[in-house]
Structure 1
Amino acid sequence: MNIPFLGHLRKKHGPARGVAVYEADGAAPDPEGIAALLSECELLRSHAERAGVRLDDTAASLEALDQLLPRWRDDEETLSWLGNDAGLYLGTVLVRTVPGAAWRLWPNGQPVVRLASGREFDVVTAGREWAASGVPELSQLYGEVAEA
């Protein structure tokens, strides 16, 4: 689809640099709503589905993602968005499978995963690094964070 003003915005602002979520002024945070929003990861889910990988929010699905051929690296815009999605998916798996893990929003709107220990993990940056180079693997990150 060719949408002229999007091309102009991309040239002006470049590819996606991250994800930010902001709450409405004065509104109490809605953890379930935030978790649902952050778990969508549409681009990553679409790529995985086309490759025959089922993303079921488990650690095993992270291992399957690590095995995908990184065809997205040829397209800077796809790489950037897919990296964001990979980080959000990693965070979704952590929140759903690690006791005490929860989404937290930094003041700048960046979503991170806070563990029961109080440690915070910047999943979006980790996902972008994985999408760009494959290192560290998502399953490896999951193992390290889940044990912390």
Structure 2
Amino acid sequence: MNIPFLDHWLNRNDTERGAGLAAALTQDPEGISELFAECEMLRVHARAAGLELDETPASLAALDQLMPRWRRDPEIVPWLGNDAGLYLGTVIIRTRPGASWQVRPDGQPVILLASGRELNVVESGVSWAMTGSPELSQAYAEASEGL
């Protein structure tokens, strides 16, 4: 599939991508939030295990209980971890007043809590996918404490 926008996007450096994503987030925060909420790989793995992700804190606890079969395939782990982090961020955004997506200059999406504290949810998601720690429900609870 030839998507000119995507080709141009992929050929930019991290700073340019970060600026572009930050601008898109400013122009269409709901659209970018929906994009971040897709987490298709994570949803497929969860669905295969009989879990439907409903963007609630309880779904994070349920994800923590899944058998981590994905760890057998090291190529999947970072992608699944990225999705897990974006899903964690989505749950925080949808359940915690004042929480919002922000984009660092390097293009890394993070959560900004109402308190001003920044959470690198993607980093937490990748760590969870690789090692199981921190648990997603634990990361959510810690974010909730910081509100």
User: Smaller-chain TM-score range?
Assistant: 0.7 to 0.9
Q: Residue by residue, what CA displacement relative to the aligned partner does 1:89-118 show, whole Å, maximum 9, x if unpaired?
A: 000000000110000011111100000011
Q: How many residues align?
A: 129
TM-score when normalising by structure 1: 0.82
How much has 1:48 moved relative to structure 2? 0.2
TM-score when normalising by structure 2: 0.83
What is the aligned partner in structure 2 of residue 23 from structure 1?
Answer: 20
Amino acid at match of 1:74: R
Task: Report SS of the residue matched to 1:109.
Answer: coil
Equivalent in 103, 106, 123 of residue 105 of structure 1 = 103
Q: Distance in 1 between matches of 2:22 and 2:100?
A: 22
Equivalent in 105, 122, 125 of residue 124 of structure 1 = 122
Q: Residue by residue, what CA displacement relative to the aligned partner does 1:4-41 show, whole Å, maximum 9, x if unpaired?
A: xxxxxxxxxxxxxxxx7652797653211110111100
Where does 1:21-60 land on structure 2 (aligned, <5 Å)? 23=20, 28-60=26-58
Considering fraction of residues, name the structure with more helix. Answer: 2
- Which ranges of structure 1 fall in alignment gaps of 5 or more residues? 1-19
Amino acid at match of 2:139: L
- Which ranges of structure 2 fall in alignment gaps of 5 or more residues? 1-16
How high is the sequence identity, in percent, across the aligned residues? 60
Q: Distance in 2 between matches of 1:82 and 1:72?
A: 8
